[in-house]
Chains A and B, each alone.
Chain A
Amino acid sequence: MKDLSQTWDVLVVGGGNAALCAAITAREAGCSVLLLEHAPKAFRGGNSRHTRNFRSMHEQPTDVLTESYLEEEYWDDLKRVTGGNTDEQLARMTIRASAGVTGWMRQSGVRFQPSLTGTLSLSRTNAFFLGGGKALVNAYYLTAERLGVTILYDTEVLALKMEDGFVRSADIAYRGYPETVRAKMVVAASGGFQGNLDWMREYWGDAVDNFVIRGTPYAKGKILKSLLGQGVAQVGDPTQFHAVALDARAPQFDGGIATRLDSVPFSIVVNRDGDRFYDEGEDFWPKRYAIWGRLIAQQPDQIAYSIFDQKCVEMFMPSIYPAKKANTIRELAVQLGIADPAKVEATVAQYNAAVRAGSFNPGKLDDCVTEGIMPPKTHWARPIDVGPFYGYPLRPGITFTYLGVRVNERAQVMMDDGRPAGNLFASGEIMAGNILGRGYLAGFGMTIGTIFGRIAGQEAAKNARN
């Protein structure tokens, strides 16, 4: 049993990228640091385990990034995806810092590589982690251990006890045993609440039972809730989350990247009732996959089916689960478990009749369109008429929630009265909503976590030693 009675300089709540960056930084500054990770060692690292890259500003090509990616373009990208739902000052500070922090990341054991095969569109903007996010997490834990950060796994922080804007103590469950921990400074880096289905149920009702959570089940949002209940200022819409379309057979938690499906643009997608509900060919899949999670979440029973024919089988990577396969659409609908196969047959027939001949080209926004049906399919529309026919069931896969605590540029958590908390800092998904209030920008979550982790660690260390 570790001696938990001492007063630590810095307590870090959480065990993902943002927590580790804060813990290592504070320890490098000479502080005694306690890091509490809810997950057991095998599942440590929160959602960072499933990440793969880091969006990095750079003025010239580097060993792993092509061309340049300057502040204005980065900011424009962010403004576009968030629809302005961001804090320009914090965002620009994060963007600027992303250029310089990779040196520290490398020093701390992170290894980069050029963009992965199939991710050419990110080769200019995103530095990929060699081996992915779990490799990054492993490297940071090794560094933290080497530096002497005290790390406890299987240790959930249940509540931070605040008085007059100061965190006085933390109630924790250390391998199930209740304990109290005291620290001069606290960094909250415990993520969002997408792993807490009961909390999500408050906004989404029983639909949550049909949600797949792509990442860690340990993102319970307990600290987020604890802080918001004690006068800490809130950012982000609590009802909102980022979601993509996944193979419906994905595990309820932790399925990560491999369960996604890329068949949508080459198929038609019908809902439980056999109706199409959105333009499958609106744009290239990498630009559209992020909206399909929400689209499916809004369908009855939160289920949809991607249906295509023999012509399209080789056009996308197969799912890790086998496609359902049948010689007729009706038979396929039965196999997919759709209640009204005749309706699916009618939908496909109607779609086929609406397809206008064009020159099919998966490499560009081609002229294969439908006419006279709603919704239309505006690219890559070809009749589904060459058996055998195939189908995948789809579910919404939740990546993260947007609700968070407000912070300032020193990563200090802000109180409702507009003043910063005395000894509380935040980094990572728990505060990402300040900057990414809506939408999604690949690799930007890791950038926010790293930059704010570093700042929180520095600021906590500075204050702890005053």
Chain B
Amino acid sequence: MPATETITIGAVTQIEALADARHFMEICNGCRYCEGFCAVFPAMELRREFADADLNYLANLCHNCQGCFYACQYAPPHPFGVNVPQAMAQVRAASYEQYAWPRPLARLFQGNGVVVSLATAGGLALVLLLSMLFRSTQMLTAWPVEPGAFYVVIPFPVMMWMGLLTFGYALVAMFMGARNFWRDAGTTGVATRAIGEAVWDILTLKNLGGGGDGCNDRDESFSMTRRYLHHFMFYGFMLCLAATTAGTVFHHFLGWVAPYSLLSLPVVLGTLGGVGLLIGTGGLFAMKFTDDPAPKARGLLGMDVAMLVLLALSALTGLVLLALRSTGGMGIALAVHLGVILALFVVLPYSKMVHGVYRGAALLRYAVERTGKPLGTE
């Protein structure tokens, strides 16, 4: 899968995006002042020349903290016009499409905001239709919070298999994408220590640290806002997954049937996760209004916003379901929540969410490389 003209990010083709990034990396390699900001520059220093795969790797290593843009003596309006965060964002977005699996579905990354929105609408419609099919007459009936109440709206096997199949597919597709990415940049052995370092970098978002004081969110000043909001979103998402897992364990191994009490593990984890997701996605969405457009890549807003909205909807509909579960609104609330989750699972491998997979893989590669000796050392 070589780089191509047909992959575009806004008005820029992948070939052009790679050419920009390559040119900038050549200039950066002659300067290196930004080496303390993040992993991108030390990784760059291990290379003299930048193949497309190297640039895809560096682009996914870039966390878009923008520190290097504001510190850059060559940033626009300097004639060199170096804009690493923008170039990396473009290369990164194109790489999602380049590495997507299976190939025919890679086009879903074009106009991704619309794709994700349509998927959400489709998921909602499908689950509502299904629920009407199963219990059309009792959709608006109030149900006591007693075991099995949810499964009146959607029978358990239907819910389970839809979830398992879509999420399972998403995991397989994302794994295949990561495999394409990893092979393109050259296979390499991975030490346990490197895995540990990569996991640590992922869990702490160290590379949104800008060398200690955070990112440049809107100007030359540094802030931890983006990093902390991303933590809310990431850990919120993880808590929601944990809630689902806990529910599965309850159901299958302990024989306890949902809905569970307010103080049960799945509900507590899900509630905390949902609130975290709402804070994270809401905050990150709000930041889009105050961002400095200069280091941003045009044409990526749709993909970003669609994912934020879908995640926020997942959390919001879950919390609404919790609030309405003993009322006549439960049926619709459950159907809507499941519809959103279904959409989330389906679009997962063809959405901004893949950034986590590629960035994780890039951080792992970086951890492996870290012992290498940078070029130009005395």
Q: Hey, which chain B residues are within 8 Å of A132, CB to CB?
A: 31, 33-34, 71, 73
CA distance A131 to B74 in the complex (A): 12
Is B104 at the interface (CB under 8 A from chain A)? no
Q: What residues of B have a CB within 8 angstroms of the CB of A320 in the complex?
A: 26-27, 30
Q: Please encode chain A, from 294 to 319, with 1 for each CB lying within 8 Å of some chain B CB and 0 for all others.
A: 00000000000000000000101111
A134 vs B130: C-alpha distance in the bound complex, in angstroms?
60
Closest Cβ of chain B: how far from A20's Cβ, in Å? Answer: 13
B79: A residues at CB distance < 8 A: 251, 254
Q: Are A138 and B71 in contact (CB under 8 A)?
A: yes
Max chain B Cβ within 10 angstroms of own Cβ: one of A116, A119, A129, A138:
A116
Q: How far is the CB of A459 from chain B (nearest CB, A)?
A: 29
User: Given contacts A117-B377, A120-B378, A256-B73, are A130 and B30 in contact (CB under 8 A)?
Assistant: no
Partner of B31, one of A251, A257, A319: A257
Q: Judge if A236 is at the interface, Cβ distance under 8 Å.
A: no
CB within 8 Å for A117 and B35 given contacts A49-B73, A135-B71: yes
Q: A131, A260, A317 — which one has the most chain B CB atoms within 10 A of its CB?
A: A131
- The answer to whether B377 and A120 have CB atoms under 8 Å apart is yes
Closest B-chain residue to A258, C-beta based? B30
Chain B residue nearest in CB terms to A112: B36
A121: contacting residue among B31, B34, B378, CB under 8 A: B378
Q: How many A-B residue pairs have CB under 8 A?
A: 107
Q: A111-B212, A117-B35 are in contact. Are A317 and B73 (CB under 8 A)?
A: no
Residues of A with C-beta under 8 A to B168 = none
Assembled-state Cα–Cα distance A318/B45 (Å): 12
Q: Is B291 an interface residue (CB 8 A)?
A: no
Task: Indicate with 1 or 0, residue by residue over A353-375, a CB within 8 angstroms of chain B CB atoms.
Answer: 00000000000000000000000
In the complex, B261 has a CB within 8 A of chain A: no
Cα–Cα, bound, A256→B72 (Å) = 11
| Most chain A CB inside 10 Å of its own CB: which residue of B30, B77, B211 | B30
Question: Mask for B66-81, Cβ within 8 A of A = 1, else 0?
Answer: 0110111111111110
Quick one: CB contact mask for A24-40 with B, threshold 8 Å, 1 for yes?
00000000000000000
Chain B residues with Cβ below 8 Å from A286 are 378
Q: Is the CB of A318 within 8 A of B26?
A: yes
Per the bound structure, the CA–CA distance linking A258 and B75 in Å amounts to: 13
Cβ–Cβ contact A118 & B32, under 8 A? yes
A142 within 8 A of B: yes
Taking CB atoms and an 8 Å cut-off, the chain A residues in 35-91 that contact chain B are 42-43, 49-50, 52
Do B32 and A117 have beta carbons less than 8 Å apart?
yes
Minimum CB distance partner of A119 in chain B: B378
Does A412 count as interface, using CB distance less than 8 angstroms? no
**CA A163 to CA B79, docked complex, whole Å:** 42
The B153-210 residues at the A interface (CB cut-off 8 A) are none
Q: Which residues of A contact B45 (CB under 8 A)?
A: 117-118
- Of B67, B70, B74, B76, most A-chain CB atoms within 10 Å: B74
Tell me if A134 and B30 are in contact (CB < 8 A). no
Instruction: Tell me which residues across on chain A come within 8 A of B31, comparing CB atoms.
Output: 132, 256-258
Residue pair B211, A118 in contact (C-beta under 8 Å): no
State A124–B77 Cα separation when bound (angstroms). 35
Please judge, given known A-B contacts A113-B36, A257-B30, whether A131 and B211 are in contact too, CB under 8 Å: yes
- Cβ of A133 within 8 Å of any chain B Cβ, yes or no, is yes
- B48 CB within 8 Å of chain A: yes
A259 located at the interface, meaning its Cβ lies under 8 Å from any Cβ of chain B in the complex: yes
Q: Which of B75, B76, B374 contacts A117 (CB 8 A)?
A: B374
**At the interface, yes or no: A141 with Cβ under 8 Å from chain B?**
yes
B residues in contact with A113, CB < 8 Å: 35-36, 211
| B contact residues around A138 at 8 Å (CB) | 70-71, 220
Choose among A52, A257, A258, A317 the residue that contacts B375 (Cβ–Cβ < 8 A): A317
Report the bound CA distance from A257 to B316 in whole Å: 51
Residues from chain B with Cβ under 8 Å of A254 in the complex: 73, 78-79
- CB neighbours of A316 from chain B (8 A): 376
Shortest beta-carbon distance, B238 to chain A, in Å?
Answer: 31
Q: Known interface pairs A117-B42, A259-B30, A317-B29. Does A130 touch B211 (Cβ–Cβ under 8 Å)?
A: yes
A260 to B37 Cα, complex, angstroms? 23
B221 at the interface (CB under 8 A from A): yes
Note all chain A residues with C-beta closer than 8 A to B374.
117-118
**Bound CA–CA A183/B89 (angstroms):** 48
Most buried by A among B32, B34, B68: B32
- Contact A133–B211 (Cβ < 8 Å): no
Q: Say which residue of B49, B211, B375, B376 sits within 8 Å of A111 (CB atoms).
A: B211
Q: How far is the CA of A228 from the CA of B71 in the complex (A)?
A: 35
Chain A CB within 8 A of B146 CB: no
Contact present for B376 and A317 (CB under 8 Å)? yes
Q: Are B36 and A256 in contact (CB under 8 A)?
A: no
Task: Note all chain B residues with C-beta closer than 8 A to A141.
Answer: 220
Q: From residue 256 to 273 of chain A, which have CB atoms closer than 8 A to chain B? A: 256-260
Taking the nearest CB of chain B, how far is it from the CB of A400, in angstroms?
16
Question: Which residues of chain B from 1 to 48 have a CB within 8 Å of any chain A CB?
Answer: 26-37, 42, 45, 48
CB-CB under 8 A from B376, the residues of chain A are 117-118, 316-317
Contacts of B78 in A (CB 8 A): 42-43, 254
B292 contacts chain A at the CB level, 8 A cutoff: no
Instruction: State how many angstroms separate the Cβ of A437 from the closest Cβ of chain B.
Output: 27
Contacts of B30 in A (CB 8 A): 257-260, 317, 319-320
B residues less than 8 Å from A120 (CB atoms): 377-378
Complex: A135 Cα to B36 Cα, angstroms: 12
B51-83 with Cβ < 8 A to chain A? 67-68, 70-80
Q: Tell me whether A131 and B48 are in contact in the complex, defined as CB-CB below 8 angstroms, given that A50-B73, A251-B79, A320-B30 are known contacts.
A: no
Interface flags for A146-168 (1: CB within 8 Å of B; 0: not) read 00000000000000000000000
A131-B220 contact given A256-B73, A320-B26, CB 8 Å threshold: no
What CA separation (Å) do A150 and B75 show in the bound complex? 25
A131 to B32 Cα, complex, angstroms: 9
Min CB distance, B282 to chain A, in Å?
28
Closest chain A CB from B210 CB (angstroms): 8
The CA-CA distance from A41 to B31 in the complex, in Å, is: 22
Over the window 391-421 of chain A, the binary record of Cβ atoms lying under 8 Å from chain B Cβ atoms (1 yes, 0 no) is 0000000000000000000000000000000
The 8 closest A-B pairs by CB, nearest first: A132-B33, A131-B71, A258-B30, A138-B220, A135-B71, A118-B376, A113-B36, A130-B36
The chain B residues found within 8 Å of chain A, CB to CB, are: 26-37, 42, 45, 48-49, 67-68, 70-80, 211-213, 220-221, 374-378
Residue pairs across A and B with Cβ atoms less than 8 A apart, 10 shown, are A118-B32, A118-B45, A133-B33, A254-B73, A257-B31, A258-B74, A258-B80, A316-B376, A317-B375, A320-B27
